[in-house]
């Protein structure tokens, strides 16, 4: 916890930065401006909570329809051929369909799916929070060792799953845990996962198209003729791939704009179940080094229990939390590109009042925590390996 001056911000920054290209910086600047405009709008009208999905969805649906039309026309043209030409053309288009067909969404292999009767306390808490935010409770519950939590539509979008990162849950206070669940279930209330299936399918299709049209790893050669040929080939490839890449960039930008508004909405819904202070505390915990993480890394390397280290790790002081929040504001910290800057989310959370808050019974949180404690042994080895090998 370094020293810093609250008056002049000396010592507030961490000094770390991520290198970004020209395109990346332009996208970041565009999303930053959009997040600020949304923040100003929600400050003026807190009830303006309906994110506009239309531009991103229209573009995504158009991409999918064009892809289906191209494949349909290709198959129709192949059937018009005769003999081995028909066989070769059909084989080619079968390969194209196999490459570009949407894949069903599955949980990561290291996620542990838990049955409701094994975690009755967690299921009761999730159902209660879902009722308070006005969402349908997810059918599937799972835990994993990432310091994260999210909801996802499984398969082709019919089943909803809530995945809780057990290390993150372990480091949070009860009201922060409720805010975390409220935020994620708020995405179900807004049907963000259903929208995400369409946007994700279109984005994956464009990403595969970019990879197919301009694959990496062409190899190094000393022959000047080979180098010249590769240079010409790269120019031609880029002429083909850039329209697709720019289309994907536009889709990513529109999707990120929509998702940033969805994050503001999910924050507002989370405050209903945890209270504004629980949400503020949760968002502040994202700034800087995660709670207890250094202690957990030490415990993993010295063959001690990393869960105990996460649970009992020293919490940052109020002054240190203020420094981290201020550093996050100066560095415009965000969880990822789909989230608004954390300091803007914090500002809106601090403006919220207790009006309309329907807090969850703390006994439900305690019962859910008991269920999740019982799952720790099944994830200890994975967590230890991740900490030792620096996978976070």
What number of helices (H) and strands (E) belong to the chain? 15, 4
Q: How confident is the model at residue 50 (pLDDT cuts 50, 70, 90)?
A: low
C-beta separation of 340 from 30 below 8 A: no
DSSP 155: B
Asked whether residue 299 is assigned to any structural domain, the reply reads yes
Asked whether residue 355 is assigned to any structural domain, the reply reads yes
Residue 203's alpha-carbon distances to 27, 256, 297, 340, in angstroms, are 16, 12, 36, 20
Give tens-digit pLDDT for 257-288. 788 888 888 998 898 888 888 899 888 887 77
Asked whether residue 171 is assigned to any structural domain, the reply reads yes
Task: For tokens 């994907």, name the residue.
Answer: 248
Q: Give me the phi and psi of 107, to 5 degrees please.
A: -70, 155
C-beta separation of 56 from 251 below 8 A: yes
Nearest to 372 by CA among 125, 88, 28: 125
Give tens-digit pLDDT for 191-246. 888 888 888 888 888 888 877 777 654 344 444 444 454 555 566 566 777 788 88
Give me the pLDDT at residue 290, please.
76
Asked whether residue 332 is assigned to any structural domain, the reply reads yes
Residue 287's alpha-carbon distances to 82, 172, 280, 327, in angstroms, are 64, 13, 11, 8
Please, what is the average pLDDT of the chain?
82
313 vs 49, more confident: 313
How many angstroms separate the CA atoms of 274 and 291, rounded? Answer: 20
What predicted TM-score, i.e. pTM, was given to this entire model?
0.81
Asked whether residue 61 is assigned to any structural domain, the reply reads no
Full DSSP string of 229-253 = HHHHHHHHHHHHHHHHHHHHHHHHH
Report the range of poorest mean pLDDT among 55-64, 67-76, 351-360.
351-360
Which tokens hold the place of 313? 């790790």
Give me the pLDDT at residue 227, please.
46
332 vs 186, more confident: 186
The helix or strand, by DSSP H or E, that contains position 263, with its residue range, turns out to be helix 224-274
193 vs 390, more confident: 193
Asked whether residue 183 is assigned to any structural domain, the reply reads yes
282: domain range? 22-51+104-388
Q: What is the average per-residue pLDDT within 52-61? A: 82
Give me the pLDDT at residue 340, please.
86
Give me the pLDDT at residue 221, please.
43
Asked whether residue 185 is assigned to any structural domain, the reply reads yes
Give tens-digit pLDDT for 101-148. 888 888 888 899 999 999 999 999 999 999 998 889 999 999 999 888
Asked whether residue 73 is assigned to any structural domain, the reply reads no
- The tally of domains found in the chain comes to 1
Give me the pLDDT at residue 18, please.
53
């Amino acid at each position: 916890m370094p020293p810093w001056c609250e008056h002049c911000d000396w010592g507030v920054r961490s000094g770390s930065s991520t290198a970004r290209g020209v395109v990346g910086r332009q996208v970041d600047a565009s999303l930053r401006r959009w997040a600020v405009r949304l923040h100003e709008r929600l400050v003026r009208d807190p009830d303006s909570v309906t994110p506009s999905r239309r531009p991103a969805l229209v573009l995504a649906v158009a991409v999918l329809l064009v892809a289906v039309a191209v494949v349909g026309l290709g198959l129709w043209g192949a059937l018009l051929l005769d003999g081995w030409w028909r066989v070769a053309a059909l084989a080619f288009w079968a390969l194209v369909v196999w490459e570009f067909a949407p894949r069903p969404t599955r949980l990561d292999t290291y996620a542990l799916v838990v049955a409701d009767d094994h975690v009755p306390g967690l299921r009761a808490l999730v159902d209660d929070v879902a009722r308070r935010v006005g969402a349908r409770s997810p059918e599937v519950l799972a835990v994993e060792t990432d310091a994260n939590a999210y909801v996802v539509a499984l398969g082709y979008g019919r089943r909803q799953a809530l995945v809780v990162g057990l290390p993150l849950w372990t480091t949070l206070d009860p009201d922060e845990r409720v805010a975390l669940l409220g935020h994620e279930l708020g995405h179900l209330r807004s049907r963000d996962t259903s929208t995400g299936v369409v946007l994700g399918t279109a984005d994956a299709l464009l990403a595969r198209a970019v990879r197919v049209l301009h694959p990496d790893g062409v190899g190094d050669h000393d022959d000047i003729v080979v180098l010249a040929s590769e240079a010409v080939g790269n120019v031609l490839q880029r002429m083909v791939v850039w329209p697709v890449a720019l289309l994907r960039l536009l889709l990513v930008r529109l999707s990120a704009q929509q998702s940033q508004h969805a994050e503001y909405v999910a924050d507002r819904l989370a405050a209903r179940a945890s209270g504004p202070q629980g949400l503020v505390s949760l968002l502040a915990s994202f700034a800087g080094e995660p709670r207890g993480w250094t202690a957990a890394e030490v415990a993993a390397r010295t063959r001690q229990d990393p869960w105990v280290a996460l649970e009992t790790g020293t919490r940052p002081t109020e002054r240190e939390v203020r420094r981290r929040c201020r550093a996050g504001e100066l560095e415009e910290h965000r969880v990822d590109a789909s989230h608004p800057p954390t300091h803007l989310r914090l500002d809106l959370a601090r403006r919220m009042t207790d009006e309309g808050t329907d807090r969850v019974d703390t006994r439900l949180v305690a019962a859910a925590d008991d269920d999740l404690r019982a799952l720790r042994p099944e994830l200890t080895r994975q967590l230890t390996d991740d900490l030792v090998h620096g996978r976070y």
